[in-house]
Amino acid sequence: MRKVILDTIISLDGYYTSPKSEIDWFGFNREEIEWSKQILRRVDTMLYGRVTYLEFSEFWPNASPSPDGFDSEIIGKLNGLQKVVFSRTLSEVKWHPAVIIRENPVNEITKLKVERGKDMVIIGSGTLVSTLVKSDLIDEYRIRIRPIILGAVLGQNYSWVSPNVFSSSGVSFISLTCRVREYCPRNSSTFGASSFLSIRTPLSSFL
């Protein structure tokens, strides 16, 4: 059976975009790009919600390899892989190969999982991810955590100072000392659409 893989970057308090849907706080290094390549080599299908699909479709078709950014393999995979877009309102898809699914994502992805093929991956697409989490349809969580708090109340931006990893019975526990770098007040009235998974699910649920 095909697996559904979630590949995401989140803040310490479990968000994946800022209140203005910005992702400039992500940052990438060569190790993370290699991590992304490993995932993309395993899959033949990418699952998207409408918003993430539209955002990606504006950037990746015209992306160029960069020594300090993404290389030709990442760009080629993102452009060339089959894209399944779940949306009731999107009228057409312009970033191909792609197909729109307007039916219940749970039913459709359940069908896709038993079809022949390689695994599938979701990037971003918080509303879709929320639905699949509730239905226990995500098989593998690959989560990268950034030292920043994006919540409407705290709005704190941290930097790693002294991470320590302890292993016990095969489980890794990370002890972190964080230092506040800057204060970024957040407007709670605009924050709802930016929450990770669209539900305030404790991070411990995924680890």
Which CATH number belongs to the domain containing residue 39 in this structure?
3.40.430.10
Q: What pLDDT was estimated at residue 31?
A: 81
CA-nearest of 57, 49, 54, 59 to 6 is: 49
Tokens of 50: 């409408």
Answer yes or no: is 170 within a domain.
no
Say how far apart CA 205 and CA 101 lie, in whole Å.
28
Query: Is residue 13 in a domain?
Result: yes
DSSP string, 30-51: HHHHHHHHHHHHHEEEEEEEHH
Nearest partner of 9 among 111, 101, 87, 125, judged by Cα:
125
- Domain membership of residue 167 (yes or no) is no
**Residue spans of the chain under pLDDT 50:** 153-155, 169, 178-207
Distance (Å, rounded) from C-alpha 123 to C-alpha 1? Answer: 20
On whether residue 118 sits in a domain, the answer given is: yes
What is the residue range of 126's domain? 4-146+188-202
Q: What digits encode the pLDDT tens for the residues 156-165?
A: 555 555 555 5
Chain segment 47-58, per-residue pLDDT in tens: 999 989 998 999
Model confidence pLDDT, tens digit, residues 60-92: 999 999 887 788 999 999 999 999 999 999 999
Q: Specify the pLDDT at position 201.
A: 37
129 domain residue, yes or no: yes
pLDDT of residue 21: 58
Q: Which residue has the tokens 């459709």?
A: 108
CA dist., res. 46 & res. 40, Å (int): 9
177 assigned to some structural domain: no
Classify residue 17: in a domain, yes or no: yes
Domain-located, residue 35: yes
Contacts (Cβ under 8 Å, ≥6 apart) of 128: 47, 48, 49, 86, 105, 122
State whether the Cα torsion 13-19-25-28 is positive or negative.
positive
In this structure, the number of other CB atoms found within 10 A of the CB of residue 114 comes to 8
pLDDT of 161 reads 53
Work out how many domains the chain is built from and give that number: 1
Cβ–Cβ under 8 Å, residues 102 and 87? yes
Q: What is the pTM of this model?
A: 0.73
